[in-house]
Amino acid sequence: MSESDLEDAQHPRVSEPGGGSHGGGAGGQVPGAASGCEIVVARHAGYCYGVERALGLADDALASGERPVATLGPIIHNPRVVEALSRRGIGVVGDVDEFERGTLVVRTHGVAPEVVAAARARGLAVVDATCPFVAVAQRKARALHEAGYTVVILGEHDHPEVAGLQGFAGGEAIVVAEPDDVPVQRLRGRRVGVVVQTTQAREALARLAAALAPLARELLVYNTVCDATEKRQAAACELAARVDVVIVVGGRNSANTKRLAQLCGEIQVRTHHVESAAEVRAEWVAGARRVGVAAGASTPDEEIAATIARLRELCGAHGGR
Ligand code: SF4
The residue whose CA is least distant from atom 8 of ligand 1 is: 50
Distance 13 CA to ligand 1 centre (A): 18
Q: Is 50 in the pocket of ligand 1 (CB under 6 A)?
A: yes
- Name 161's Cβ contacts closer than 8 Å, sequence gap at least 6: 109, 110, 134, 137, 155, 197, 198, 199, 255
**φ and ψ of 254, to 5 deg:** -90, 115
pLDDT of res. 210: 97
Q: Is 55 in the pocket of ligand 1 (CB under 6 A)?
A: no
- Classify domain 133-221 at the CATH topology level: Cobalt-precorrin-4 Transmethylase; domain 1 (3.40.1010)
Q: Is 294 in the pocket of ligand 1 (CB under 6 A)?
A: no
Instruction: For residues 193 and 220, give the distance between their C-alpha atoms in angstroms, rounded to a whole number.
Output: 5
Distance 184 CA to ligand 1 centre (A): 31
Instruction: For residues 110 and 113, give the distance between their C-alpha atoms in angstroms, rounded to a whole number.
Output: 9
Q: Is 47 in the pocket of ligand 1 (CB under 6 A)?
A: no
For a ligand 1 pocket test, name from 48, 161, 200 the mutation site with the most ligand atoms within 8 angstroms of its C-beta.
48
- Looking at 7, 38, 161, 303, which residue is catalytic? 161
The closest-lying atom of ligand 1 relative to the alpha carbon of residue 226 is 2
The closest-lying atom of ligand 1 relative to the alpha carbon of residue 232 is 1
Instruction: For residues 216 and 219, give the distance between their C-alpha atoms in angstroms, rounded to a whole number.
Output: 6
Strands (E), 240-287: 245-249, 271-274
Counting Cβ atoms within 10 Å, is residue 34 exposed (0-12), middle (13-18) or buried (19+)? Answer: exposed
Q: Which of 192, 191, 174, 194 is nearest to 183 (CA)?
A: 174
Q: Is 49 in the pocket of ligand 1 (CB under 6 A)?
A: yes
- State the Cα angle at 139 between 136 and 142, rounded to 5°: 150
| pLDDT by position in tens, the chain (length 321) | 333 433 332 332 323 323 333 333 335 666 544 456 899 999 999 999 999 999 999 999 999 989 999 999 999 888 889 999 999 999 999 999 999 999 999 999 999 999 999 999 999 999 999 999 999 999 999 999 999 999 999 999 999 999 999 999 999 999 999 999 999 999 999 999 999 999 888 899 999 999 999 999 999 999 999 989 889 999 999 999 999 999 999 999 888 899 999 999 999 999 999 999 999 999 999 999 999 999 999 999 999 999 999 999 998 634 322
In the chain, CATH 3.40.1010.20 sits at 3-48+227-317, 133-221
Q: Is 165 in the pocket of ligand 1 (CB under 6 A)?
A: no
pLDDT of res. 31: 53
In the chain, CATH 3.40.50.11270 sits at 49-129
Active site annotation includes 302: no
Q: Is 134 in the pocket of ligand 1 (CB under 6 A)?
A: yes
**φ and ψ of 39, to 5 deg:** -110, 125
| b (16+ CB within 10 A) / e for 96-134 | beebeebbbbbbbbbbbeebbeebeeeebbbbebbbebb
pLDDT of res. 37: 86
pLDDT of res. 30: 60
For a ligand 1 pocket test, name from 8, 57, 108, 197 the mutation site with the most ligand atoms within 8 angstroms of its C-beta.
108
Write out the H or E segment, with its range, that includes residue 260: helix 255-267
Domain 49-129 is in which class? Answer: alpha beta
For a ligand 1 pocket test, name from 128, 133, 230, 259 the mutation site with the most ligand atoms within 8 angstroms of its C-beta.
133
Distance 186 CA to ligand 1 centre (A): 31
Q: For domain 3-48+227-317, which architecture applies?
A: 3-Layer(aba) Sandwich (3.40)
Q: Is 196 in the pocket of ligand 1 (CB under 6 A)?
A: no
pLDDT of res. 227: 87
